[in-house]
Every structure is written in C-alpha cells, then in structure tokens.
A and B are shown apart, each in its own frame.
Chain A
C-alpha cells in the first residue's frame, strides 16, 4: 500500500510505455539536428510544452519553461527575476508552511540584496492567517512565494485571496504547485499569477523534470540565471539583444532533457483523460476517514477546513519513525520526519510527524490496511 504520494507518485503504464517508446524509436537531440529523427524529437518536445501549457491554463506555450523540478524553478525565479526586482529595503514574503526549497532561495536573495524576508503567520490548525498576511503587505513588498497545498499538512491555501492582496501593493506571486496536482484553478478564477512551478514526478510523470510557468512579460524581463548561464548565453547573445531573450529560448537551453519533456506531454494528456481534477476533489473524503480518530492517542496535525489528500499525525508515546517502521512491516508505506518543513514543525511544536498522502489510485483497501496497521502500532507501544 503506497501512501507516500506527496514524496513521489507511482507512474502509470502509459508514462512508462511512452518513455520506453521514445528511447526505442524517437531518440535524438532536439532543436539541433537537421535529420528527421531530430525533427520528430523536437516536435514531441514542443508538443509537450503545448500540453503542459494547456494543463496549466497558460495563454501561450511560451509561458512554459521546462526545468529539472520545482526547486530549480524557485531558484530560477529568485536568482533571476528576484535579483532585478528586489532591492535594498524591499520585502519578500513566504508562508510559515513552506518547504525548505521555498525558503532558502528567498533567504539568500534577501541577504544578497539587503532585503527583508517576512513570514505569513498560520494558525495552530495549520491554516493561513490572511489578516496577518495582509498586515505584512506594504509598498516595499516585491514578491510573495507560497505553496498551494502544504506537503506536510495538506492545507489548501486560498491562492486567489493571496494573489488579490499581493497585487494591491504590486507584488508578484509565485505559487508552488508541487503537492497540488490540480489544474491551476486559480488562473481560471481570474487570479493573474505571475509564476507557478510544479514537479512532474509528484503528478505521475517522470523524475527530473518540472515546469515553471511565467507570464510572458515576466519571463521576457528575466536575465539569464547564473545557474543556467552556460546554455542561456549562447541563445541569448546570438539571437537577441541583451535582456531580450524570449521565454522559449530559456526553455530550450537544457536540450539534453528533451525526452523527459516529450514523456511529460503524454503524461499530461493521460492525466486529463484520467480526470485528475475529479479525483483530486474526491480524495479528502477518504483522507478524513473517522477510523483515524479511533486509534487511542492519535492526533492529526493540521486541521484546516480546506485540505487535500495529505494527513499528518502524531501518536502519544510513539515517535513517528517507529510508526513508519511498523507500518512498513505491515505493508503500508508512509513518510515520517519533518518533511523539509522544519520552521513549520517548530511553529506547531512537533519535532516530526507521520504523513499519509494519497493519490488517485489509492483505494478503500489501502485505508483499511492503514487503520489496521495503526492499531498494531498501538498494540506494540501500549
């Protein structure tokens, strides 16, 4: 029973087959070769960009930049966009429930630029304190970076409200969609996001590939990041005046990962076909199974009203690590630890939690096995 989907998801047969087909029949470098095989690979690659753009409701496929993962996307925005937009005395806001990878790049940026990093408060239930957030915003706020669905707690943040408030003071918003797996409902709702990032491996795709979505005018204003300079420079200097590289040039720079992108396109089409949205909405019902509360001494950490299929918990007298070991031997795989959210753990006063995270292939049987295994834990530790 695999209940660690917030760490990474299993891959559908369609994804595995597509990867195999690419390497077997279509493997060539993209945007480089003059031969037909390279043309086919390039087509698949660019088609993947279109599919990813549709999936995220982008206006234009050029708004999709392929990166190695959401972590790289955040680093890219912080080191490139951030460096031009955030100056001395400016402010950047993150929430108290961010993954380390959505804290450290901003900390470094603020240190370098002499800016100030501020933290949106949360309640004891793990819910964003919108009033507290509004109080932080001012004319010096340049950037707000926030997770859509907390990987540690499952809290679904009110992105529309976060964006609306940020735009009042002219701040750009980056949404970390890693644990979200939703087809960006906030764009449909009219929130004009500047940036969004996601990792394919957390949404049924291959590892080592992710997307940065950015509004065309934002991406166009981004100087090449030091992290990606080698490839950027080439396209940049030859084809464009300084500062003028169009978004697709950036997307093309790391051509060695073309095949992942082609795979990703198929995965996204497959995702649509599976009805990811529908499943995402259905999931919380299973996650809120009442049997959890029947395990003596079990306490759910993170009880915000809006939650996705992620449940963190602790048990009296049992360290999460021991819960994880026993569950594993009972055939149930979960995650234990601080989930790369140590500031959040500190805020909630727990060193670590055990975390169950569901995906659309999990069934009632999985939840039954989890409930039984939790009773075993209680049995061992009394």
Chain B
C-alpha cells in the first residue's frame, strides 16, 4: 500500500471510523444537518452551549471514514472550548489539509491525524463537512449544509455579484 494511503488511513482515523465518539443525539440541543449528495455523506451535528462555551457536541449519521472520523474527532476537540476557539481550530485544520507543503499541525492535537487528507484534494470536502455543519448548528441556522458545491473562478470582477446569486441557497462561504 502506498505511503499516502497509509497517511490517510492511519490508525486514529480507522479507530474513530469504527467506533466514533459522541455518536448519539442530544435531546433539546441545537442541531444542523450536513449532506454531500454526490458521495452520500449525511450527518447531524448536535450542540449544547453554555453561553458561548461548547458544553457538549455530538453527531449521528453515515458517511465515509474521513467524514466520520473527522466528525468524531471534532466532537472531542471542541468540548469545553468557546465558539471562537472552535472557529480558530477549524481554520487551522482547513489550512493543514489544503496546504500543499508540510505545514506542521501546530497545536491541533488529535485533529492532526487528518493531515493525510492533503494528498487527496477530493476528500477535503469529507473532512470539512462536520465542521461546516457545526458552524450552522452554532448559528442555529435551519438549513442543510453541503461542502460539495465548488464555485467557478470568475475572471471578470464585475461578475462577482451574479456569482453570489448563482450559489445554491445552502452554500456556505469558506
């Protein structure tokens, strides 16, 4: 098996895929649904807030190993953090898995196990789906989140406006 496959499917990922943590519904909690129809990943993220601190996070659903492991790792990582801290964590994770080089996964803790995703650009959307869904749950937005839409590259800045309106309603800006 190739080295990049080993990096992608490392033990932490496989473990969280097989036995996902916080894999349950939270009654009465804030929630949002994430759905990538092309690959069939579908998950609900539950969030209980204490002020702006995440008291508890959980998820349910089905998806590929990357989406499930990412969701599982996320629910563990954000617990006890403020929403702003969770945002910064997501930002660092996103930079890690979309960077071409070997950017060190500084203070990402267990989330660093997702570093192997950067060799598989088409799988980035799997790893980020739970986080975008968490963001929607935090904002109590009643919508289905998807990370499958990819905006085109508009060469003429005058078109920016139509580009905005062309987005599906459930698209989230990265």
Contacts and interface: CB of A to CB of B under 8 A. Distances in A.
A322 B4 contact: no
A329 B5 contact: yes
Contact of A337 (B1, B40, B126): B40
Nearest to A381: B14
B8 A319 contact: no
Q: A interface, how many residues as a size bin?
A: 20 to 34
A380 B5 contact: yes
A325 B39 contact: no
A322 B17 CA distance: 11
Contacts of A318: 65
Interface string B1-42: 110110011000010001000000000000000000111111
Contact of B62 (A338, A342, A351, A376): A351
A288 to B, nearest CB: 26
A108 interface: no
Contacts of A325: 5, 8, 120, 123
Interface string B103-123: 000000000000000001001
Interface of A: 317-322, 325-326, 329-330, 336-338, 342, 345, 351-352, 376, 379-382
Interface in B58-82: 62-66, 68
Given A325-B123, A329-B2, A379-B1, A351 B42 contact: yes
Nearest to B119: A329
Contacts of B126: 321
Contact of A326 (B5, B40, B41, B68): B5
Contacts of A336: 39
Closest 10 CB pairs of A and B: A352-B40, A351-B40, A319-B64, A321-B64, A321-B39, A329-B5, A322-B65, A329-B2, A380-B9, A322-B64
Nearest to B5: A329
A132 to B, nearest CB: 27
A166 B42 CA distance: 39
Contacts of B63: 319
6 contacts: A320-B39, A322-B64, A322-B65, A325-B123, A326-B9, A345-B40
